[in-house]
Amino acid sequence: MEMFERTYIEEARHRVGERITLAGWVSRTRDLKKIRFIVLRDRTGEIQVVVKPDTPEMFNLSLGREDVLSVTGKAVESDVAKAGVEFLPDGIEVINRSQQPLPVDILENKKSDLDTRLNWRFLDFRSPTTNAIFRVQNALVTAFRDYLSGNGYMEFQPPCIIGSASEGGADLFAIPYFEKMAYLAQSPQLYKQMCAMSFEKVFTITPIWRAEKFNTPTHLNEIRQMDIEQTFADDETVMDVLEKTLVHMLEEAKEKTADQLELLGRELTIPKTPFRRVTYTNAIEMLQGAGEPILWGDDFTKTQEALLTELVGDEAFFLKDWPGEQKTFYAMPYDKEDERDARYLEETYGSTEIGDRLVRAFDCLYGGIEISSGTMRIHLPELLKERIRYKGLNPDNFEYYVGAFRYGAPPHAGWSIGLERITMTVTGQSNIRECCMFPRDRDRLVP
């Protein structure tokens, strides 16, 4: 293909009168007896190309949807065209043809089913709604990375293939690894803690896998996590980081993808910091007061999370001080013998006794769903082993983990945001598959 100097459509609007070359896809054509309109699209927008019969080589050129063209000519202002600017070509080159008809309706006249669109995902990306979702997602990712990089956090890359299967909870995917068995990582947890113990403030954006046989609109077997970890920090330290990071992400999305959010019908409100801190115990009381059959110690269902959001009345808030049995073994328990912990427990609960059952873990709810959770970690090997036993697990199976804290481990804490989950909330989607370019669920492995 002959190379040419290309101008993007958005830029062309500001270069009226200059001879330039556009390149992109045919969105649709409107052919009349004495005039022809070709709607050309590139990553920056659409423009109407106007062809008159006095140029028969262009007027009679056969064109189909999604054919790839380069069009040379000039943009002109027009009071007839709805967009205000249109394009008068002096040459059109067909760079590649698209097969017809298209297997999905990317103009969304008769919007194809999600399953059909996922089968043709590369074409679906060209439809306005899908395109907008991933542009918003990109703005969120970029803002996450920029905010943390700008505040002294170092990005690191954890391994995705791991050797140990002895991690209590979720099911792992086993894969053959030469003469051994290996597993797909279901969390960068240990790795981010190990990195933090040298680099102090770290973050990563990494895929994780869970072999859970869940089959819901909010679960995938492969997701991307945005994680941070930092030293000399407790749960409140990183909750503060979380709310600032989240607000920055939302502000950036609102500013950088205003057009996309409008197309998606989203009016983003930026929650005010600091977010309200609601204790788990208080949340249980609120739900019980609303007639929910829930007991202290239970986890919240999705409906209860939504109801709680209504009761709290804030778009974003924290749920903190969880019962130890609800959270992972490495969550730091309160210590009522510690002076500061005792004062906090006394102020919050009127007694220090409950401290024996609470850990310094938190969830962040935004728009009615849990988008992030985190904890202050246990950095003391003996306490860690005690908590592993408390959870009914065998400390011998966790020696690889406990051992990482024997050589000068400072107190530390961290959290994790699910990328697809937050994209769902921000873009207003109810199925998480809409928010993952190539989702992996229980049945789907392609494309």
**Per CB under 7 A, does 303 bind RNA?**
yes
Task: Among 61, 68, 81, 263, indicate the residue that binds RNA (CB under 7 A).
Answer: 81
Task: Among 1, 5, 17, 34, indicate the residue that binds RNA (CB under 7 A).
Answer: 34
Among the residue ranges 76-84, 126-134, 254-262, 357-365, the one whose residues contact RNA (CB under 7 A): 76-84
Say which residue the tokens 């918003």 belong to: 136
Q: How far is the CB of 339 from RNA (least distance, A)?
A: 30
Alpha-carbon distances, residue 257 vs 176, 252, 266, 268 (angstroms): 43, 8, 11, 11
Residues 354-393 that bind RNA (CB under 7 A): none
Considering only CA atoms, which of 218, 20, 251, 294 is closest in space to residue 139? Answer: 251
Considering only CA atoms, which of 186, 192, 238, 245 is closest in space to residue 210? Answer: 186
Burial class (CB in 10 A: 0-12, 13-18, 19+), 57: exposed
**Per CB under 7 A, does 169 bind RNA?**
yes
Say which residue the tokens 């962040």 belong to: 364
**Per CB under 7 A, does 31 bind RNA?**
yes
**Please, which residue, 210 or 266, has the CB nearer to RNA?**
210
Neighbouring residues of 171: CB distance < 8 A, sequence distance ≥ 6: 210, 211, 212
Q: How far is the CB of 425 from RNA (least distance, A)?
A: 15
Dihedral sign, Cα of residue 159, residue 165, residue 169, residue 170: positive
Task: Among 1, 17, 54, 82, indicate the residue that binds RNA (CB under 7 A).
Answer: 82
**Per CB under 7 A, does 445 bind RNA?**
no
The C-alpha atoms of residue 362 and residue 317 are separated, in whole angstroms, by 10
**Please, which residue, 157 or 301, has the CB nearer to RNA?**
301
Tell me the one-letter amino acid at 369. Answer: I
Among the residue ranges 77-85, 231-239, 252-260, 335-343, the one whose residues contact RNA (CB under 7 A): 77-85
Q: How far is the CB of 93 from RNA (least distance, A)?
A: 18
Concatenated DSSP letters of 52-97: -TTSHHHHS----TT-EEEEEEEEEE-SSSTTSEEEEEEEEEEEEP
Say which residue the tokens 């002959």 belong to: 2
**Please, which residue, 15 or 302, has the CB nearer to RNA?**
302
The C-alpha atoms of residue 299 and residue 291 are separated, in whole angstroms, by 16
**Please, which residue, 114 or 383, has the CB nearer to RNA?**
114
Residues 388-417 that bind RNA (CB under 7 A): 398, 401
Tell me the one-letter amino acid at 155. Answer: E
CB 220 within 8 A of CB 440: yes
Strand partners, 415: 228, 374
Task: Among 78, 142, 237, 282, indicate the residue that binds RNA (CB under 7 A).
Answer: 78
Q: How far is the CB of 27 from RNA (least distance, A)?
A: 8
**Please, which residue, 217 or 274, has the CB nearer to RNA?**
217
Task: Among 35, 95, 161, 174, indicate the residue that binds RNA (CB under 7 A).
Answer: 35
Phi, psi of 183 (to 5 degrees): -140, 150
**Per CB under 7 A, does 65 bind RNA?**
yes
**Per CB under 7 A, does 167 bind RNA?**
yes
Q: Residue 406: how many CB atoms within 10 A of its CB?
A: 9
**Per CB under 7 A, does 74 bind RNA?**
no
Task: Among 214, 232, 296, 390, indicate the residue that binds RNA (CB under 7 A).
Answer: 214
The C-alpha atoms of residue 366 and residue 319 are separated, in whole angstroms, by 11
The helix/strand count (H/E) of the chain reads as 14, 16
Among the residue ranges 212-220, 242-250, 334-342, 379-387, the one whose residues contact RNA (CB under 7 A): 212-220
- 161-162, strands of its sheet edge to edge: 161-162, 180-184, 174-177
**Per CB under 7 A, does 64 bind RNA?**
yes
The C-alpha atoms of residue 27 and residue 275 are separated, in whole angstroms, by 44
Residues 225-254 that bind RNA (CB under 7 A): none
Strand partners, 40: 26, 47
The 320-359 site mask, x for binding RNA (CB under 7 A), equals --------xxx-----------------------------
**Per CB under 7 A, does 210 bind RNA?**
yes
**Per CB under 7 A, does 62 bind RNA?**
yes
Helix, strand, coil percentages for the chain (3-state, nearest 5): 35, 25, 40
Q: How far is the CB of 252 from RNA (least distance, A)?
A: 27
CB 374 within 8 A of CB 330: no
Residues 89-148 that bind RNA (CB under 7 A): 100-105, 109-116
**Per CB under 7 A, does 170 bind RNA?**
yes
**Per CB under 7 A, does 440 bind RNA?**
no
**Per CB under 7 A, does 37 bind RNA?**
yes
User: Given the rule CB under 7 A, which residues bind RNA?
Assistant: 28, 30-35, 37, 39, 48, 50, 62, 64-65, 78, 80-83, 86, 100-105, 109-116, 167-170, 186-187, 189-190, 210, 212-217, 219, 299, 301-303, 328-330, 398, 401, 430-431, 433, 441, 443-444
